[in-house]
Structure formats: C-alpha cells, structure tokens
Amino acid sequence: MLNLPNLKSALRNHPRWFRLYDTFRRSALRLLPAPDYRQLHDLAAVPAALPRVCFQRPAVSVEGWLSDDEATALYVLARMTAGSSMEIGAWLGRSTICLARGLIDGGNPTSLLSCELAPTPENFRETKPGWVGFFYPANHLVSMGDCPVW
Ligand SMILES: C[S@@+](CC[C@H](N)C(=O)[O-])C[C@H]1O[C@@H](n2cnc3c(N)ncnc32)[C@H](O)[C@@H]1O
C-alpha cells in the first residue's frame, strides 16, 4: 500500500512547498484503486479513504460551503448509510448532491430528507450598535444568535 505522509505540520512555514507536495500526494493517491466501501464500517477509517474516492461531484455552478474533502466525506458517509438520512441546512444543494450521490452509488433505496431555513436579508437586523442578529421568522422579536457586524 502506498503510504505518503501528510506533511502539513512539517511544512507549515513553507506553504508553497506544502501545496506542491499535497498536489503530488493527492494525484498519486488517486492512482490507487477506490476504497472497498463494503469494508468501510468504522468512521475512523473515513479520513484515510478520502484521497482515493472518486465520484460525480456537483457542477461548479452549484455553490456551497464545502471543501473538496468535506464533500467527499459526505459522499462516503452516505455510501456507508443503510437507513434513511436527513440533512439540516442544504443552502443551495451542493452538500445534498454529495449525499444523494453516495446513497445512489451505495444502492440505498431509502429516502433523503433535506431542509433549509432559506434566510433573506429580512432575517438579519441590528440588535445593538455594531451587532447583527438572526431572526426567524423575520418578524420574530428574539434573535436566534448575534454576531459582530464585521
Ligand atoms: C454553512 S451553511 C451549509 C450549506 C450546505 N450544507 C453546504 O455545505 O453548502 C449552513 C446552512 O444551514 C442552514 N440552517 C441553519 N440552521 C438551520 C435549521 N435549524 N434548519 C434548517 N436549515 C438551517 C442555514 O440557513 C445555511 O444555509
């Protein structure tokens, strides 16, 4: 088994070298066969499997908050899932696509339920000078959480 070390901490002060090495490492790991998903039962094994996972990623036009590794992890976790799944917070659906592809490729015939608050600017207003709160529904009097405007 090819085992290329992750040198992120060793090359912390040399980001350019780390990026070069990481690109090489990821390309080399992609040459290895895909993980055997039937053998993947342990969550602790997921991170090591990520570089070897290939799946049909969402189109770049579907925006999301996910890194590539997070998208891959969602796909793998969905492939490992036997029952129904629920996603809280789909935003524009990038993570939903990763989950759905994992369920489909894993032959899971059960359902995926996804929900999203879909906030608009009306859901955000000032709570005190320099602070903005999230109100849901928009006319609610109590903020669900505040953060500094910056
Ligand atoms: C960081 S974004 C992640 C979006 C998406 N999963 C992705 O990776 O592209 C979090 C999303 O969760 C939604 N959200 C937060 N709390 C929620 C709740 N209680 N129910 C439904 N959606 C929620 C937010 O509106 C936001 O779109």
What is the CA(118)–ligand 1 centre distance, in A? 8
Q: What angle do CA 43, 47, 50 make, to 5 degrees?
A: 115
Mean pLDDT of 11-32: 83
Residue among 92, 116, 144 whose CB has most ligand 1 atoms within 8 A, to mutate: 116
Q: Is the CB of 37 under 6 A from ligand 1?
A: no
Higher pLDDT, 26 or 74: 74
- Provide the pLDDT confidence category of residue 3 given band limits of 50, 70 and 90: low
Q: How far is CA 55 from the centre of its chain?
A: 14
Q: Are strands 131-134 and 146-148 parallel, antiparallel or unpaired?
A: antiparallel
Asked whether residue 148 carries a pLDDT value surpassing 90, the answer given is yes
Please write the tens of the pLDDT for every residue from 113-147: 999 999 999 999 999 999 999 999 999 999 999 99
pTM, two decimal places: 0.81
Give the Cα separation of 98 and 115 in Å (integer).
Answer: 15
| Domain range summary for the chain, segments of one domain joined by + | 1-32, 38-116, 120-150
Closest C-alpha to ligand 1, atom 21: 116
Alpha carbon nearest to ligand 1 atom 25, residue: 117
Q: Could you read off the pLDDT of 43-90 as tens digits, one per residue?
A: 999 988 888 899 999 999 999 999 999 999 999 999 999 999 999 999
pLDDT of residue 9: 79
For residue 2, what pLDDT band results from cuts at 50, 70 and 90? low
Whether ligand 1 lies within 6 angstroms of the CB of 66 is answered as yes
Q: CA-CA distance, 134 to 111, in Å (whole number)?
A: 31
